Chain A
Amino acid sequence: MLRVSAQVAFLALLAILIGYLFRNMLGALRQQGLGLGFSFLRLTAGFDIGEFLIPFSRTSTYLAAFEVGLLNTALVSFLGIVLATILGVIVGVARLSKNILVQGLARAYIELLRNIPLLVMLIFWYTGLFLKLPRVNQATSGPGGVLLTNRGIAIPWGIPTQSFGTYLFVLAAGLLAAAVTALVCIQIGRRTGRGPLAWAWSLFAFLLVAALGWLALPIAPLTVDSPALQGLRIAGGKQLSPEFMALLSGLAVYTSAFIADVVRAGIQAVPSGQVEAAKAIGLKDFQVLRLVVFPQAMRVIIPPLTGHYLNLTKNSSLAVAIGYPDLFSVSGTILNQSGRAVEVITLTMAVYLSLSLLTAVFMNWYNTRVRLIER
């Protein structure tokens, strides 16, 4: 009885508090001549966004602007997660190297990055490195036809020709071949107990079909378009803005230091007896890593790794400080244009929350897959 009444009292207090705050808010909004509601999302945005994955102009709606921001956030988070994982695994393994110089470098990398704020680093990279690159007319060329300027990085990019549509079918066939190969490999593994590397063989099958298709088509499906200096602008290729590059590289490098530490801890958590036992039954060095160390390390690595992926996604909101139009930055513009503070902030927070929950759900699913099955 006491428990029920305590909870009811708590709930009542909470409701009163929220009601009070809400009433104040409505009063303040009424003074500004505003109501609550999301119908403003259909109004014309009236501002431009520098980078977009879906068509957008100033006559598009606020909702479209929101979607552009969301897609930019998703793009930079996804690429950032991939790059940070690759860098982080390399640095984490280097941290355990027997070579004392490599180990020291990896350690310095981790200790340096873990102890500075991401925002300071992003602003430094943007204003101190990417905006300090040479002007367009003095563009420096990097390796592989890359052009570096203070207006962005231009890289060579494929342009589809008329046979590109046909080539998509070839790629689909390649995927099919890869799937069949994987199934066959797994079957052989079941039967003999010594399965071939499923992922390596299916990748090989895919690449084989893709290469054969490329050569078989009369016209190559893609032509390489290299960026070139043309007067005061760069023509051709794919141009990546300095904002995008600074944000992506900043996020990836910063998070990689945390991932490196997670990877190191995960590998160190595998008891050395496991490695010795694996060597004793005659596995080769690479097999020891692939079959014994790595699967066990994954169990330790996955949960903190999830946390760092989530952090990266949330940290991408710092784009607002360097002017990349991500979700948060676009929301800020929408807020200024429409004056709908409450709705815009609520919507933005809801989207970030769902992104976080989605990532968490996916990583939890993966975690249950690699978890130790106790008997």
Chain B
Amino acid sequence: MIEARTSSSDNVLPPPVERYTVLGWMYKNLFSSWFNALLTFAALGLVYAIAKPVVTWAAMQARWEVVVVNIRLLMVGQYPVAELWRVWLCLHLLAAVAGLSWGIWVRGYRVLGVLVLAAPLAVAMAVSDPSARGHLIAVAVVAVAGFGLGRLAGKRIQRTVLTLWIAYLPLALLIVNGLSRESDPLRIVSSNVWGGLLLTLLLTAVGILVSFPLGILLALGRRSHLPIIRWTSIGYIELVRGVPLVTILFMAQIMLPLFLPAGIQIDRVVRAMVGIILFTAAYQAENIRGGLQAIPSGQYDAAKAVGLSGPQTMVLIILPQALRNVIPVLVGQFIALYKDTSLVAIVGLLDLLGIAKSIVSQPQFIGLQREAYLFVTLIYWFLSYFMAHLSQRLEVALGVGER
């Protein structure tokens, strides 16, 4: 009997693989009924009607020199040219960490990897500035080196690389901002001259980093048993989530100087940062609360049973698990904030969008809004799309929702 069973399980056939000829595939997916065929033709017509004018315009009529001439402004704004190496250094570090991670965790995806590597090289071919070209090629080289190291060391340096990721944002901030006013290697660069994509990314990074601890506090406050603390937290969170970001940015620009004691001045970028942080903290709190709610109450009981106090339970048992669950949502928040920072252009800051607004008013480029804004849209889209996919992969890798 047993023998029969084993032999039959050996003989089990794999499920049949569906195979189609090209025509068969087209029939199944495009023309299976008259309605389906109608849809196919309507869709084809729509694609043609949209694609034809767009492609003609992009290839023939568009004057892309508005982007080419202003590329440095779009990327870093008025950041001093002598200090640009610091921005490049951040990019090299990012390439190194990304290469390491790719080497450790990613299997397959060869085509995508080659494409990601080819991107800086392709841009290097396109730019005219020799130092930018050198740096871009170096980025690709560093990434490849990191990839090789990651492949060789494998899982052994996993924890180090995770730490590097966590340390990356503060480190990059430090490098861009500088250390002291006098000493030369890392002189402070006033945030007034930060601009372009650099400013967009810095605002996002600061917003996420600083609002994170605030968000934890608010989330814990909202779940607190003490009514005054709970209602204060709820009030803050709902108030902030009920108003548009642009009103908060406006408030930060205009009312923040009023709130501070006389004589203290803070510059516009910092004011925008404060607004963004206050805004994001409320959303972070809700994300983290979601993570906290997913922790089964047995965890609390078990912690109590082994004799941990309330704060110990929180810090040692609950928060580590809750925060792990929240990581993909945090990446989502990062993406949302990355898009939302474009609103600082309304209060007059020169982020990626602000720079685009200012370059289309340059006298020689009047009327080239389409080119400038399309380029900006592409940058926003590319990074956001890339990060969104990364967060989906991260969710799988971390096994969120699985035990």
Contacts and interface: CB of A to CB of B under 8 A. Distances in A.
Contacts of B244: 314-315, 317-318, 328, 352
Interface string A344-375: 01001100110011000000000000000000
B43 A119 contact: no
A1 interface: no
Interface in A79-118: 97-102, 105, 111-112, 114-118
A320 B346 contact: yes
A320 B342 CA distance: 14
B346 A119 contact: yes
| Interface of A, helix, strand, loop or mixed by DSSP | helix
A105 B44 CA distance: 10
Contacts of B376: 120
B60 interface: no
Interface in B300-352: 335, 339-340, 342-343, 345-346
B381 A115 contact: yes
A115 B336 CA distance: 9
Q: How large is the interface on B (under 10, 10 to 19, 20 to 34, 35 or more residues)?
A: 35 or more
Given A11-B228, A328-B244, A105 B46 contact: yes
Q: How large is the interface on A (under 10, 10 to 19, 20 to 34, 35 or more residues)?
A: 35 or more
Given A28-B262, A352-B243, A115 B380 contact: yes
Contacts of A328: 244, 246-247
Interface in B358-403: 360, 369-370, 373-374, 376-377, 380-381, 384-385, 388
B34 interface: no
B242 A112 contact: no
Contacts of A131: 369
B106 to A, nearest CB: 22
Nearest to B200: A117
With a 10 A CB-CB cut-off, give which of B44, B250, B260, B357 has the most chain A CB atoms. B250
A123 interface: yes
B36 A120 contact: no
Contacts of B242: 352-353, 356-357
A25 B30 contact: no
Contacts of A335: 254
B73 to A, nearest CB: 17
A21 interface: yes
Contacts of A35: none
Contacts of A111: 385
A100 B27 CA distance: 11
B259 interface: yes
Nearest to A332: B250
A120 B47 contact: no
Contact of B36 (A98, A112, A318): A98
Nearest to A28: B258
B229 interface: yes
B290 interface: no
Given A28-B257, A345-B255, A353 B227 contact: no
Contact of A132 (B46, B228, B246, B370): B370
A115 B259 contact: no
Contacts of B345: 119, 321
B373 A124 contact: yes
B226 interface: yes
B258 A29 contact: yes
A21 B259 contact: yes
A121 interface: yes
A345 B254 contact: yes
A14 interface: yes
A24 interface: yes
A10 B228 contact: yes
A27 B247 contact: no
Interface string A332-346: 100100000110010
With a 10 A CB-CB cut-off, give which of A101, A121, A124 has the most chain B CB atoms. A101
Interface in A281-302: none
B342 A99 contact: no
A318 B353 CA distance: 14
B39 interface: yes
Given A11-B228, A101-B43, 15 more contacts: A10-B232, A98-B29, A99-B39, A102-B43, A105-B43, A105-B47, A115-B381, A116-B377, A116-B381, A116-B384, A117-B340, A128-B369, A314-B245, A341-B255, A341-B258
5 contacts: A115-B385, A116-B339, A116-B377, A318-B244, A356-B243
A-B interface, 7 closest residue pairs, ranked by CB to CB distance from nearest: A115-B384, A117-B339, A356-B242, A127-B369, A314-B244, A100-B29, A128-B370
Interface of A: 3, 6-7, 10-11, 14, 21, 24-25, 27-29, 31, 97-102, 105, 111-112, 114-121, 123-124, 127-128, 131-132, 314-315, 317-318, 320-321, 328, 332, 335, 341-342, 345, 348-349, 352-353, 356-357
